[in-house]
Amino acid sequence: MSKKQKIWLGVFLAMFIIPELLWSPILNTLYELWQSGNVIPFRENFIMASDNLLYFRLVNFMQLVGIVFASVVLFKTSNKKFISWFLLSILILFSFFNLVVFYLSFAFAGVSF
């Protein structure tokens, strides 16, 4: 992996990790899905407030871009060693979680009855 590739990998990973560190949008949502009935977020913060759904989607989309492109960079530079595949698997798993959360932020947010 060249220095340039490492920088890109770092940037993309940061796009995913920093919002997660600050507000945990994905962890919060998955934690809520884990619960039955009324839910409580893992961490209350402004981005989980219903009034701030647009910010949530924006941040979550940035995370999605970050994790997907990090996976792509890692895949393209993979030396086919166990560690590379292992890391890639983790990133793909996170990408899946991210995608699910992003979908739900649209799927459930418009509820009106």
Partner 1 sequence: MLLPVLVFKKMKKFILLIFFVFLGLFLSSDEVFANSPYDQSSLDSFNLLSQGFDGFTLSNIEDNFVIEKISFRVQFIQNVSTTTIENQCPTLDQSLGFQINQGDTAILSRFYHNPVADSSEKIIDFDTAFLNITGSDLPSLIFYIGHSVQNGFFCGNSNFGAQMGSANVTSNYVSHWLNDNTNTPEIYFNGNANSKTPVLIVPGVLGTEIFKGDEELWANPKMAIPIGDDDFMDPMQFNANLTPSDPAVYFREVIKQRPFFNYTEDLIQEFTSQGYTENEDLFTFPYDWRYGVNQANIDALKAKIDEIRNGGEVDIIAHSTGGLLVKKYVIDNPGNHHLGKAVFLGVPNTGAPKAVKTMLAGDNFNVHGLSAAEMKKIAQNLPVVYDLAPSQEYFDSKGSYFKTIKQKFLAKDEVKDLTHQETLDLLINGRGMNQAAYNNAGNLHTESFDNFDLRTQGVDLYNIVGCKSGTIGKVVEKYKGQDLFGHPILEYLEPEETPGDGTVPLESATNLPVDQNKKFYALDANHGKMPSQNGIRQQIVNIIVGTNLDTQGKLTQDINNCKLKGKAVSIYSPLDIEALDQNGNRLGIAEDGSLQNDIPGADFNVFGDHKFVYMPEDAGETYKINLKGTGSGSFTLGIKDIDANQVTQSQNFINLPVSSTTLGTLEFADNQAQLLLDNDGNGTVDQTLAPTSVLDANQSLDLISPETTATVSGIVGNNGWYKSDAQVSLTALDDNSGMLETLYSLDNQPYLSYQSPISLISEGPHTIKYYSVDNAGNNEAVQILEIKIDKQAPEFTVWFDFASQSFKFSAQDNLDSNPQINCTSIDCQGSDQAGNTAALNFKQTKISNLYSLNLSKISYNGVGTNFVENLFTVGLSGKNLQNSAQAVLIKKQQVAAIGFTRDKNESKIVELQSGGSLKTYVLSGLHLIKLKTNNQNLSAKVE
Binding site for partner 1 (CB under 8 A): 13, 17, 20-22, 24, 27, 29, 32-33, 36-40, 43-45, 49-51, 53-54, 56, 81-83, 86-87, 90, 103-113
Q: CB nearer to partner 1: give 4 or 82.
A: 82
Least separation, in Å, of the C-beta of 111 and partner 1? 5
Least separation, in Å, of the C-beta of 75 and partner 1? 15
Least separation, in Å, of the C-beta of 18 and partner 1? 9
DSSP the chain: --HHHHHHHHHHHHHHHHHHHHH-HHHHHHHHHHS-SS---SS--GGGSGGGHHHHHHHHHHHHHHHHHHHHHHHHT----HHHHHHHHHHHHHHHHHHHHHHHHHHTTT---
Q: CB nearer to partner 1: give 1 or 72.
A: 1
Other CB atoms within 10 Å distance of the CB of residue 71: 21
Least separation, in Å, of the C-beta of 2 and partner 1? 16
Q: CB nearer to partner 1: give 72 or 84.
A: 84
